[in-house]
Chain A
Amino acid sequence: MKKLISLLLSLMLVATLITACGEKKVEEPVTSTEKETKTETETKGEKVKFAIIVKNTGNPYNEKEMEGFVKAIEELGGEVILKAPDQPTAEAQIQMIEELIAQNVAAIAIAANDPDALQPALQKAMDKGIKVLSLDSAVNADSRMVHVNQADPTAIGTSLVAGISEMMGGTGQFAILSATSQATNQNAWIEVMKDDLVNYPDIELVKVAYGDDLRDKSVSETEALLQSYPNLKGIVAPTTVGVAAAGKVLTDKGLKGTVQLTGLGLPSEMAEYIESGVCEWMYLWNPIDVGYLAGYAAAALVDGTITGAEGDKFKAGTLGEKSIITVGDGTEIMLGDPFKFDAGNIGEWKAVY
């Protein structure tokens, strides 16, 4: 018991030491002037902090979104904080939201790993006056003020089904290789695709596999699909990591022409497969623009130009004027229609992103 008490006492001592240390730091003349000048420049320059949290690190698509976000905020003269967890989980994103709240950021833009799990964290942020918007992969309507949608989900879903149908000659089995099972955007497109399949009676969707946007898992899921469904004629991968992984597997196994591939891919990653014909064409919007639009939307929320209500309009830099529309329970800002990349234009786009 004595030992316990002594340890507790020493812990208290430590606690007082720590607080004492902190206070001393401020009292020291050098550091205090440093701090003063720091806050002075902050108030003078009005450097407002904008944060973006993406799904995970090592995801080229996410990196392009961050790039666009940085570009927008730099044009506006703000400070950018970039956050990306090492694993695509909601747990990690909650922790990052907490860290951003502590840093007094003005706005948080997030590409969510789970639509519902972030709700308590994001609501806490909004309660503290932080503007919250989602981009690319939405959070539920209660946890955000507005969502920046890369493209109309219906347009994406129907384009993908039309594409794979044309490649497969209108008949046969195909599978979908998606990101995580909780990825809001992928699930929305897959829903559209399933509904649209009614118009293609000879095409059968045999399985939706989840590669979790991890390169190795996507490769093994593709291999599993090829083994489980020997008659498979097509793969649709509505995620950039998945489509590149599938392109690699089909190339390595020499299945060009036997199994067709389309999806949403980054031109720079997919150029070799489009040029070789493993993937005849694919779709995407410009992820840099998604981040850029999110950056301008965040700034507009912070300066009060928009509140996230339907009908609000704001100027989004080089993208021109954008307006907010209602989709489902929440409001969204649409970037535009998906863009088709094929052997004809991939050459010029692969250098861009």
Chain B
Amino acid sequence: MAQRNILAKKQFSIKSFFFQWEWLLVIVFILINVMNANISDYYLNPTLLLDATMTFLDKALLVLPMVFILVLGDIDISVASTIALSSVVMAVLYNLGVPMPVAILFCLLVGTLCGYINGILLTKFKELSAVIVTLSTMIIFRGIAYIILEDQAAGKFPKWFNFLSWGYMGKIPFILIVFVILAIIFGLLLHKTTFGRRIFAMGNNIEACRFSGVQVDKIKVIVFTLTGLMAGVTAIFLTSRMGSTRPNVAMGYELDIIAMAVLGGVSTAGGKGRMIGAILAIFIIGFLRYGLGLINIPAQALLIILGLLLIVSVMIPNLKGRFQTLRKVKS
């Protein structure tokens, strides 16, 4: 609750409004686009830029609920395994003759169930940290995916299924429209509802929330289940993009997803962060990757650049804090 009051006060000062993390991200976003336009003649092309969003928006769908989890002060590193398991279940069911829409439903169901399991484990065994719980489920979910498909691939989906990740509505990629709608829903949920405010409150002080009568456990389970559901959604789009699936699909996605949220100014300590920041970060990383890909820089160099960007972005608020305390001490 305290968080909200501070934010409301801040709005009155133009200076502090423009000194927000999100503005810094906007500047970075502009810089990256200017840089990309200069290094590659192919970059400034609206059609291709829209196409480029298709390459990273599948995992971006999971950044939205991940912001909720990080604001809670928790973390979920099992999301990539959840994607793999739901994707594998969907593909295997379809190959067994189940109609595709039903298989998709099962994909969402498996994702939701995985998320629910995470939530229940976390609330029933409070002494376990979210890292440990989701680390275990990360291994278990992927393990089950491997048991189902072993080292094989499954696929041969119907033609219309390809549309999800490759199709256009007019000139806009379908997945971009889905992302915008979901981003608005998640943004409103986090910033404009009691549910969202409680999540911030829990991230700041979970004990205080518990004593004020907030149903802490229930909210936690809901957030993790929601993340599982979104992992299922991501699995559908990713599988559509790939045309076939394997148990090792989406390997390492959890780190990309968390990195996007952190770059967006969402604190891993909880209680801090805004949806718009995370969304900006998604496009910063996505377009940076695409721009550097257009000049064909080696894959390792790309990883180093992305790593540096992340370190610097995490360091800046820290340095700012230090600078401010230093000034206070001097005066």
A residues near B (Cβ < 8 Å) are 1, 3-4, 7, 10-11, 14, 17-19, 21-22, 25, 35, 38, 57, 81-87, 89-92, 94-96, 98-99, 101-104, 114, 116-120, 124, 181-182, 210
Contacts and interface: CB of A to CB of B under 8 A. Distances in A.
A35 B166 contact: no
14 contacts: A18-B37, A25-B37, A82-B296, A86-B302, A87-B252, A91-B238, A98-B54, A99-B290, A99-B293, A102-B48, A116-B156, A117-B244, A120-B166, A181-B150
Contact of B298 (A3, A57, A102, A103): A57
A84 B298 contact: yes
Nearest to A210: B151
B294 A86 contact: no
B276 A120 contact: no
Contacts of B249: 91
Given A10-B26, A18-B34, A118-B243, 15 more contacts: A7-B22, A14-B26, A17-B30, A18-B30, A22-B44, A35-B41, A38-B41, A57-B299, A86-B303, A102-B294, A114-B246, A117-B155, A117-B244, A120-B166, A181-B150
Given A17-B30, A87-B251, A103-B294, A95 B55 contact: yes
Contacts of A120: 162, 165-166, 241-243
Contacts of B217: none
Where chain B touches its partner, the secondary structure class is helix
Given A116-B156, A116-B243, A102 B52 contact: yes
B60 to A, nearest CB: 14
A232 B156 CA distance: 38
Q: How large is the interface on B (under 10, 10 to 19, 20 to 34, 35 or more residues)?
A: 35 or more
Interface in B249-288: 249-252, 276
Contacts of A92: 299
B55 A98 contact: yes
Nearest to B49: A102
Contacts of A21: 30, 33-34, 37
A25 B37 CA distance: 9
B42 interface: yes
For the complex of A and B, the 7 pairs showing the least CB-CB separation, nearest first, are: A181-B151, A86-B299, A99-B293, A116-B244, A117-B242, A22-B44, A102-B48
Nearest to A18: B33
Contact of B45 (A38, A95, A102): A102
A104 B42 contact: yes
B78 to A, nearest CB: 19
A91 B241 CA distance: 9
A90 B37 contact: no
B9 to A, nearest CB: 13
Interface string B217-257: 00000000000000000000010011111101111100000
